[in-house]
Each structure stands twice: as structure tokens, then as C-alpha cells.
A and B are shown apart, each in its own frame.
Chain A
Amino acid sequence: MTGRPDEPPAADRSGEPLLRVRGLKKHYPITEGVLRREVGRVRAVDGISFDVYPGETFGIVGESGCGKSTAATTLLRLEEPTDGEVLFDGADVSAASKAELKRFRRRAQMIFQDPTSSFDPRMSVGESVAEPLRIHGMRDRDRRRRIAQDLLERVGLSADDVDRYPHEFSGGQKQRIGLARALVLNPDLIVADEPVSALDVSIQAEILALMRRLQEEFDLAVVFISHNLSVVREVCDRVAVMYLGEIVEVGPTERLFADPQHPYTRALLSSIPTPDPRERGRGIELTGDVPSPSDPPSGCRFHTRCPEIVQPDGYEFEQVHWRRVMDLRAKLDRGEVGRESALDLAAAQSTATAGATDGARATGTPPDEARAAIRRAFDLPEALTDERAEAVLSEALGLVVDGDSDRAAALLAKEFSTPCERRRPRAAAVDDGWSATCHLLDGSRRSEGVEPLPGRED
């Protein structure tokens, strides 16, 4: 399960971490009016903590909008964090003075996704690569040039390339130049934000191999940010999975990929298409889109999409039906399901089945059909297996069809409530250096073969 033939030498995690991030937050205010009154906040990064040890590659993975790029810029203090602490080699970066910050930035470099826009087109490659040296006080022009030449060779280009300009290079070559520039100050940490996402797969493989080689050569710690799980698996020693501004699971890459503990990690991993046609259709399907980070769901932020959402006390659902009942509840709460839409649905469905043109709405849809239409729209069975749950559901659907959606929503919320929406889960240790933040693991539920782990008391 652990180890692979050419795994980079395991980073020494016994000593002090190089980078220690604690409760890092970055909120962007949403303002309104001339007074720019704050009416809300986009919680892009909402309290993340992790350590990065010297020489290791730490991955941050997640879908777009999960806050992984903001995490990168905030931890380098390219953006001011809203809250939290970043300790680099023991010193607090978040409280650093201007001079201290300059010293920190010499030791911590960043590379970006788009290699084209990260270079000044009017500067030769040599000047670009050596620019950080000049900024940090190296006056000797010839020496800067020699260092640039040396680095270009070490990233697989030629020393003669110093006098050429960025447009003369392909995307993969530009990313090599970007690496050379990041390495010129001999840093201890590189933050790489989607460094290979804009590249073709054959070029991507070259850059990944190069990064791995350079990391050993320069003994670098790397924070590697990507949406691409396969790339992360290729290069990272440990990985953190982010969802809506929070880390839901963090652990050693190979073990986490082999046995993911958080339902989101499971769904994410299962949706990676593999080049094996016999594996098709095996993915766990997530319903719905990622909610907005300006109004994240209560409790566990993943509960609105989680296929493994914890069932309410006293009822026995089939898990898929329980998920769908929760989807219905969510729509009712947002006022998206009502008498009108139910009647529309019934009409549309009867048109589809009977082929009638005018729909049944004009002639009046019986309430039974409207109820059945809602069930069909949410893929719910005609009757739930648990009789008491079924009684609650049909009462609620009856209220919807009678035009009282608010009471229906209240009824469902009262009867079918889950710890996932009520309480925030805590990080539960799975193993040494591996934890996941889910109610299934923190002892809130003791069924379905999930071993309760010795987590903290709730």
C-alpha cells in the first residue's frame, strides 16, 4: 500500500516543519452602495491548518472555487490573510515587517499556471531568470548572467537561451524557465499553483519529472496545488483535499488514494477517468453543484451533496433515497418546489408519456398526480421502505400540492434532520498524520460497518 519504486526519498518529518499554517482564513467582503457597506463575505479560505516539512511535496487538491489558489497566495502573503497564522521556519510571516517579508520571499517562491503571462515579453529570458537576484541586491551583471545560464541548463534548456525572448519558447519550455526563475534565489519552499494544467499530457509528464529531479537536487519543500488528482498522486508525498474553503481530509498520498476516508474524497477519486474501458461507469455520482462560498451550508459543508449523509434518528432509509429526500428538502427550503412547479411537472410528464399537446394542466391535474410528479422528479420511489418515513414524506408532499410549501419544509426539517447539517464535524485521526473531517468518523454514528475512531469528544 505504501511506497512505490521511485518514490522520492521520504521527507524527514521528525524535525520541525518548515511551514506551519494554522487557522488560515481569507474572506473577501461583498460590498454594496456608495458607503461600500459589507453585506456578505466570500469565505474563500475558511480556517485551514497544515504543516509542510523540509524536502517534502505537499499537495492541495480540490475543485474550482474550493479556495486552493487563495490558500497559496495568502500563505505567501501576496494577499493579506483575514485571520490565522503562517510560521515559516519558526517566524510568523503574517506579522512580518517589510524587511522580514522580503527575506521570507527570498526563501519562498511561487510558480504559476500560465507560463506565458508570467514573463515580461520585452525582457530576455536571462534577464527574467536573473531578475530576482537583482532585486535582492546582486549588482554584478556578469555573475547574474552566469547563474541564469547555469540554471537554464539545469532545467533542461541550453545556456545559449539566455538572450532569447519568451515568445520563442513553447509552453513547456516557458514552464521550465519559470522553474529556473523560481530556483535562482536558492529557496527552501516553492508554491506551485497548477504548474502543469495548461500543458499537453506529454509535456506535463516532462515537467513533473523535472520538478521531482530539481526537488531532490535543491532539497526543496513544495506546496503543489492542482485540480488534477492524477498529477497530485504522481508528485505529492502528502495531500490535503479542500472543499469550500476547508480541508476535509489530509494524509499520506498513496494511502489516502488507496483508502479515502471522507465521502468527498471518495467521490472525487472515483470520478477520475482512468484509461481502462472496463472500469467505465464506476464513479460515485455527486448530485448538484458546489454551493457558493459566500453562503456555505451549515454543519458539514459537504452535506448538501454527500452520498453518505447520516440518516435521521429513528428512521431507516435506503441511503440513495435518503439522499434524494434531502435534495427535495433543500429545494423546498430555497422555495424552488411549490404547488405551481409541481403542477407544471405533472403536466410536462403527462405530455411526455401520453403525447397530449396541451398538457393536463388546463383540465386540472389531480393532487395525486402532482405528488407523484414530484417523486418522479426527485427519483423517489412510490413508497419509502420505512413506513413512518413514508408517512412523513407523503404528508409533506400533500402540503406542497395544497400550496403550503413552508409548512412542508418545516415538517421535513423537523422530522428528517441530520447531524451533518446541525453540527460541524471535527477532524478525526485515521492514522498517524492522516485525518478526515466527517461525522462518520468522529463518533457521531456507529453503524454501517464504520468503526468509530477514537476521536475527540463531541
Chain B
Amino acid sequence: MDGKTTAPRILVFSTEKISDPAIDLAGLLKKHYPPTVYTINVPCSSSIKSKWILHALDKGFDGVFIAADGTDCSFSDTCTERTGELVQRTHALMKEKGIDPAKLKMAAICSVCSEPFVKHMKNFVEALAS
């Protein structure tokens, strides 16, 4: 990222028990990802409101990434489905507002998926930059 302040800024919604530990693990293993990635954690990825995502994009974030619980969710096996639905709803809202839906991405990040997380971040930043 060689010091450019223009690098795309990404807000990650992580989940306390599943994906946030993976993001921690990435740090522990010194697997680097762009420092313009910021994380807010929530109990479960199915709890993220469209309102929050739109607020982030509105305030200046270039992209929002949902690091979803996937099938590992300890709350419910419907988590993936629900998270998918909220992403769909938000994509629709983004279109209405004329925001490129590509600015919201979701992927399941398991509690040890530090490698995939780093890859997702690098790809997302690259995609947003271009």
C-alpha cells in the first residue's frame, strides 16, 4: 500500500466468535493485509442492518465486507441464509441509491480462515481501486 492515503477504505463486519478470531489469527501469524481495513465486530453476521452498511458507504467507506459466520455459526444453522438475505436486500437498496453493489461483499470466514481473509481483503482493495 506504499503509504498512499488514497487506498480504498474497507469496513469489515466480523463476528465475535467465528470470523474475528480468524482476523486476530492473521495478525498473530503476521499475515499482512491493507491497513485501510477496519473491523467492527457483532455477535452474528445475520445481525447486520442495511442501515449500518449504507451509513458506512455514505460516510466515505469505499467498501463493506461481511466476514460471515457461514456454517460455523453457533447461534443457528439459518445464519448463512439470513446473512445472504440481508446482503440481497442491501444490494437492492444500494442500486436504488445508485451505489455500485460491488461495494458490498460477503464471504464466510471460519475461525481459522486467516489466509482466506487476507486474500479477500487484498482482492477487494484491488477491485475497489480499479
Whether A associates with B in a native complex is no
